[in-house]
Structures are given as structure tokens and as C-alpha cells.
């Protein structure tokens, strides 16, 4: 396993009002949930804009993720529009991630089609986009050559990571920082350099 280049957390409205200023010397990056499902303002994460503003104010690089409920490419397109609406005017230096874990998601090629629909829309709009899922899903439901060009954010809680080319690793859901519990992550790529240059094509390199 390579040595991580940076350490960070991911947050959503379920973390409540996070004191991001107090995290400035504790984390290198934060990945923020922007919302879930189709492009309805009611499905925006209620803390998203505040969390982005606090990261910008405190100079902390951030990425974003959207929790998917898409059952077909039409819904995946709506989820892409949802994400793009909330990204307007922003450059997430830790990428955009499609969160695939809900039990209602389809299986087989239908899920692969959703991933390609969403990620293609984000890439065409100029954003670095990858897939978030558990190690189990990566090995089974998302282990397709059609997705080989996409970066992976792998959730495997414990001391070891068993996905060789992961860019991000969510290694714990029980990290304690300043007395608060967070999901903990490590980055194996220099995302600010990669995304800042805007020269990426294959998102596994």
C-alpha cells in the first residue's frame, strides 16, 4: 500500500454545524456532501453551502459528493444536473464523487450505465469525477472494464486497504477530532495539483 499524501474527513448535514476553522491544522482536505438524488432543491444537503463557505474562508481544499438513488440513466442525468447546479462557480480540488451504496440501486449493466451517465456529464462540464463505494461493491457491482478509467474512493474500515489503485480511502467512521466523530480519509494522489492543472484525462493516473 502506498503512503498517503494527505488526510481528511467527509461531512454532511448529519454532522451538524461543523467548526471548520478549528479543523484548519487537523485536516488537509474535506469532502462535502452536496445533496442526494434528483435535481430538487429540497434534496440539497442543508449544510452544503455553509460547509463550502467555511472551507473557502479557512483555505481548506474540498471535494464534493452526491448520494445516488438513480434507478436508470434518466435519473442519473438528473443527479448530474443536481451536482452541477451546486458546483456553479466552484473548483473542488478534491474532485466530485458519485456515492453508490443505497440498497435501491440497480445491479449489472444498469448500474454501470448510471455511473457512466453521471460521470460523463461531470467530465464534460470540466470536473474531475470518480466513484465512491465499499470495497465489496468495488469488487463486485463496480468491477467493470467500462469503468476502468474512473478514479475510486474506497470505503474499507480497518488498518489495510485492499483495492490497489484507489485514489481515496475511507478507513474509519469513528475518527475523533476536537471531540467530534468524523469519517476519516486518506488521499494517495495530489488532487490539487492534478485538478488545478486541468490536464487530466485518465482519472486513474
**In the predicted structure, residue 21 carries a pLDDT above the cut 70:** yes
Express each pLDDT in 113-155 by its tens digit. Answer: 999 999 999 999 999 999 999 999 999 999 999 999 999 999 9
Mean pLDDT of the 48-68 span: 98
* pLDDT in the model for residue 203: 53
- The rounded distance, in Å, linking the Cα atoms of 51 and 18 is 8
**In the predicted structure, residue 59 carries a pLDDT above the cut 70:** yes
- The rounded distance, in Å, linking the Cα atoms of 62 and 16 is 17
Q: Give every CB contact of residue 29 below 8 A, 6+ residues apart in sequence.
A: 6, 7, 8, 60, 61, 62, 63, 93, 94, 185, 187, 191
Q: Mean pLDDT across the chain, nearest whole number?
A: 96
**In the predicted structure, residue 204 carries a pLDDT above the cut 50:** no
Express each pLDDT in 32-50 by its tens digit. Answer: 999 999 999 999 999 999 9
pTM above 0.85? yes
**Which residues, in sequence order, are bridge partners of residue 64?**
32, 96
Distance of CA 123 to the CA centre of its chain: 14
Mean pLDDT of the 175-194 span: 97
User: What does each C-alpha distance from 93 to 40, 54, 76, 126, 144 come to in angstroms?
Assistant: 25, 15, 23, 12, 26
* pLDDT in the model for residue 89: 96
User: What does each C-alpha distance from 135 to 37, 63, 156 come to in angstroms?
Assistant: 22, 20, 6
Task: Report the percent of the chain where pLDDT is more than 90.
Answer: 94
Mean pLDDT of the 73-94 span: 98
Indicate the SS3 state at residue 118: helix
Residue 199's pLDDT band (cuts 50, 70, 90): low
Amino acid at each position: 500500500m502506498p503512503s498517503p499524501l494527505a488526510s481528511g474527513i467527509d461531512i454532511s448535514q448529519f454532522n451538524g454545524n461543523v467548526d471548520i476553522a478549528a479543523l484548519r491544522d487537523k485536516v488537509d482536505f474535506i469532502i462535502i456532501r452536496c445533496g442526494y438524488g434528483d435535481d430538487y432543491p429540497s434534496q440539497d444537503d442543508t449544510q452544503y453551502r455553509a460547509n463550502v463557505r467555511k472551507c473557502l474562508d479557512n483555505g481548506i481544499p474540498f471535494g464534493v459528493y452526491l448520494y445516488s438513488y438513480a434507478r436508470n440513466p434518466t435519473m442519473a442525468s438528473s443527479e448530474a444536473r443536481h451536482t452541477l447546479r451546486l458546483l456553479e462557480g466552484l473548483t473542488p480540488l478534491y474532485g466530485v464523487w458519485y456515492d453508490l451504496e443505497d440498497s435501491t440501486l440497480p445491479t449489472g449493466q444498469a448500474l454501470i450505465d448510471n455511473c457512466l451517465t453521471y460521470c460523463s456529464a461531470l467530465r464534460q462540464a470540466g470536473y474531475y469525477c470518480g466513484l465512491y463505494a465499499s470495497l465489496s461493491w468495488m469488487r463486485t457491482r463496480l468491477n467493470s472494464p467500462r469503468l476502468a478509467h474512473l478514479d475510486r474512493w474506497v470505503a474499507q474500515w480497518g488498518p489495510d486497504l485492499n483495492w490497489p489503485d484507489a485514489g481515496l480511502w475511507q478507513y474509519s467512521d469513528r475518527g475523533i477530532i476536537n471531540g467530534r466523530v468524523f469519517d476519516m480519509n486518506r488521499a494517495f494522489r495530489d488532487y490539487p495539483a492534478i485538478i488545478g492543472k486541468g490536464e487530466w484525462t485518465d482519472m486513474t493516473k
